[in-house]
Structure 1
Amino acid sequence: MLFSFLKYLQPTHYFQRYTKAGASIFPKPDELPENVLKQLQPDDRFDSEDAKAYDVSWQAIQQGYIGNGSTYDSFSAVPLRDNYRFIRKYFHSAWVFFVLLVRLMSFHNPFKEISAWYRTRNINQIKNSKSPISYEDWKAYTSKLIEVAPLVSVVIPTLNRYDYLTDVLKDLEQQDYPNFEVIVVDQSDNFNGAFYKDFNLNFQVIQQKEKALWLARNTAIKTSKGQFIALSEDDVRIQPDWIRMHLKCLDFFNAQVSAGVFYPEGQQIPESRSFFAVGSQFATGNAMLYKSVFSTVGLFDRQFEKQRMGDGEFGMRLYLEGIKSISNPLASCIDVKAGTGGLREMGSWDSFRPSKFFAPRPIPSVLYYFRKYYGNKAAKLALLRMVPISIFPYQFKKNKPLLLLGLILSILILPIVCYQVITSWNLSSKKLKEGALIQTL
């Protein structure tokens, strides 16, 4: 991995893995275009030349570099102090201290660790990076793909949310791209087929008796007629150019996946997601991809039914196959966060915050995914990083004092937390033994 300390801070991030072809996502700096290098900042404070190069490569990815140049297929170890320099530069000091504690608890030399941590204390976290890498040809780009106007199949599973579904269907009526169908898989208790007659849309409406989110999406994909699949949800709002911006992104970057950006109602797109970049996550609430991709990687894994992170697992399969996915801020959508219906009626909607006091923590499907693709060691590091901050509600996750209090509370209720984690671990073991439930297209 790029810097070894990333295994503590991002133990289950796509970019920790090499693709099946043996490539990482990180470009070799000496092969970056000159116009890209000008927007990066080489850092001579690192002791080793490798660390200097890796830092530039990290910057390129973080600032939105999307290219076809050579990437690293292996990384050399860098000095301990360079590892501390790196995490101090890009992560909050609380997380730097967390890494120090983990290193000390795992019997690394305390004198060397504390010395390296202390000697890098003057390295400040970068609050605002330079402007993201720009793609100046985007505005003037005329997409031949859009001119051809292929059929797009918009997939929306729904459950007891007709009021919210009305809004997104009205948004789809306003799309400035004409050639699309809408496939709604309706699992509502009181199915209302007449509801769909009020909309001027090319519908396929499928009534599904079983409440199963991933089955719904798989069914829709298999019945779709389009060359492209656009994945959406029943509690989002989209702009009139949503379909067109996804198609243009696929065409402009010669990509197979356009991963749209979510942001909560009343807020703006997060700064870190406000520019084009290599996709580091995949969300089934806002994405477009070639239908043929499902022939390559399979459909969604039904091991995640009524649980969490099925879209993350699917994204990992895309990444491992070397399928190009672009984080696309211009095909954003507003997450309304409906308080009723949907996954909340089928199971927990939060990965690390169980709905009941003695329920598994995290949701077993999360550990199934972590252990399957990253191994048990990385899964345990993810637990160590995420469990303490999961004591408090999701909306407090960026409140630093509450995060610290969460750590203290985790220690106080450690027996209960251990029971929750062990239960989740055992249930994930059963999933791993059973294996993936992935159908082919």
Structure 2
Amino acid sequence: MPFAFLTYLQPTHYFRLFTDAGNSAFPRVDALPPSVINQFEVDTRYRSKQAQDYDLSWQAVQSGFIGDVSYYTHFKKVSVRDNYHFIRKQFHPVWVFYVLLVRLFTFHNPITDIRAWIQTSHIKRVTAITPVLYSDWNHYQSELLAKSPLVSVVIPTLNRYSYLKAVLLDFEKQDYLHFELLVVDQSEPFQADFYQAFDLPIRVIRQEEKALWLARNTAIQAAKGSLIALSEDDVRIPSDWLSKHIACLDFFDAQVSAGVFYPEGHSIPKARSFFAIATQFATGNALLYRSVFEEVGLFDRQFEKQRMGDGEFGARVYLAGIRSISNPYASCIDVKAGTGGLREMGSWDAFRPSTFFAPRPIPSVLYYFRNYYGNTAARLALWRTIPTSILPYQFKTNRFLLLFGAFLSLLLVPVVLVQVFSSWRLASRKLEAGDRIGFLE
């Protein structure tokens, strides 16, 4: 990344990696169009011109710049002071202090760091983002939509018929009609008659094994369409969900349209309300060409009954240099069903296991982190995430309780260490065994 201190704050972000072709995700400032550069503020308070340029490149990415320009293939080192300057602009002061502590505890020069931390104390956090606008989108006539390619929609389901009913009714209302639904049903008891109530081109695949990634892989292999849409049994989608995904692929000449999730009862987060290069991949809301799976493979079954299989797939897509667009116009509501699905397999999320003495985080998380970002980055990710994961899932957005959880983790250090070491050991076994990535036949 352009600023080294991002390693402490975003240790397992896709953009920390260079693609297989040697490119970063950050456009060279001298390659950006003047119309884009002019909407950003040049911060002359940095000590070096290099830091100013990197800041502008960061602004371009955060504001949603998408273009065929030159990208940085390496980053020159900038001063400790300019690194503190940057993170003060981009992150809450608590995280700036966290970086200082990490650097002091890892034996960096305390005088240099404390001086730089103090000297940049006047730098205020910048939270406002001015998105790069794509005005042609509003009246875009997609040639790909006009060709009406077949879309194969993949939905795995496990003991969620009431939730599945709602999303299937949403598919009945789609304004794009050339699609097939492949539902991989792992439910017990299996209700074959359930699907007869829907006026939809559904192919039901009965799967006895309770295995989410096997289900998705099986459906993708059985798909007839040149486009694959990935959905879930506990989401709600608008009537133009498919058409907006397809138009996005066409508009940006992209291979992946990564839709935006937002919780039920809320609206789309402001930071994700505009087009941008995707920073994550979620299997509950995406559309991609079948050729993507042919290039990078199917989902890794090392994540079976665990978490972050979609994140790992997204990393492969990013490394292959495949353009993936965060698409707010193909959004969906994340209902977060309290039963069924992965809830029956052990966890609410990647860092909160089902029982208190189970490995924390879920071992597949460390398998992914260590495999792509290395052991040091994985440890930094643990420092950032474990303290705030002590409290239950329903409190994850409450800042006060998260802070309380961080203090609580200090009291529970022996237990937490046992959880983490257990997870690390199980992840090591996965790494030794290697991936379980299949390819389309």
Q: In the alignment, does 2:36 pair up with 1:36?
A: yes
What is residue 434 of structure 1 aligned with on the other side?
433
The alignment partner of 1:163 has SS state of: helix
* Structure 1 residue 241: Cα displacement: 0.3
* Structure 1 residue 349: Cα displacement: 2.9
What is residue 26 of structure 1 aligned with on the other side?
26
**Distance in 2 between the 1:127 and 1:36 partners?**
19
String of CA shifts for 1:311-349, please: whole Å, max 9, x gaps: 000000000000000000000000111111111012213
After superposition, where does 1:22-421 map in structure 2 within 5 Å? 22-129=22-129, 131-421=130-420
Q: In the alignment, does 2:49 pair up with 1:14?
A: no
* Structure 1 residue 407: Cα displacement: 2.2
Which consecutive unaligned segments of at least 5 residues does structure 1 have?
none
Which consecutive unaligned segments of at least 5 residues does structure 2 have?
none
Percent identity, aligned pairs only, is 64
**Distance in 2 between the 1:196 and 1:407 partners?**
46
The alignment partner of 2:88 has SS state of: helix
* Structure 1 residue 41: Cα displacement: 1.1
* Structure 1 residue 35: Cα displacement: 1.3
**Distance in 2 between the 1:383 and 1:30 partners?**
37
The alignment partner of 2:236 has SS state of: strand
Coordinate RMSD, CA, aligned: 0.8
User: Could you tell me whether the CA contact under 8 Å between 2:213 and 2:304 is conserved in 1?
Assistant: yes
* Structure 1 residue 401: Cα displacement: 2.9
* Structure 1 residue 164: Cα displacement: 0.6
User: Could you tell me whether the CA contact under 8 Å between 1:313 and 1:369 is conserved in 2?
Assistant: yes
**Distance in 1 between the 2:94 and 2:78 partners?**
22
The alignment partner of 2:365 has SS state of: helix
* Structure 1 residue 397: Cα displacement: 3.1
**Distance in 2 between the 1:333 and 1:213 partners?**
20
User: Could you tell me whether the CA contact under 8 Å between 1:66 and 1:277 is conserved in 2?
Assistant: yes
* Structure 1 residue 396: Cα displacement: 3.0
* Structure 1 residue 38: Cα displacement: 1.6
How many residues align structurally? 440
Output the amino acid matched with 1:118.
Answer: I
* Structure 1 residue 418: Cα displacement: 0.4
Give the stretch that moved more between structures: 379-388 or 394-403: 394-403
User: Could you tell me whether the CA contact under 8 Å between 1:235 and 1:338 is conserved in 2?
Assistant: yes
The alignment partner of 1:349 has SS state of: strand
Output the amino acid matched with 1:112.
Answer: T
**Distance in 2 between the 1:305 and 1:247 partners?**
29
**Distance in 2 between the 1:425 and 1:307 partners?**
14
- TM-score of the aligned structures, taking structure 2 as reference length: 0.99
**Distance in 2 between the 1:6 and 1:191 partners?**
48
* Structure 1 residue 419: Cα displacement: 0.3
**Distance in 2 between the 1:73 and 1:165 partners?**
45
String of CA shifts for 1:367-392, please: whole Å, max 9, x gaps: 00000000000000000111111112
**Distance in 1 between the 2:346 and 2:297 partners?**
24
The alignment partner of 1:138 has SS state of: helix
**Distance in 2 between the 1:48 and 1:35 partners?**
24
Output the amino acid matched with 1:88.
Answer: R
User: Could you tell me whether the CA contact under 8 Å between 1:307 and 1:349 is conserved in 2?
Assistant: no
- TM-score of the aligned structures, taking structure 1 as reference length: 0.99
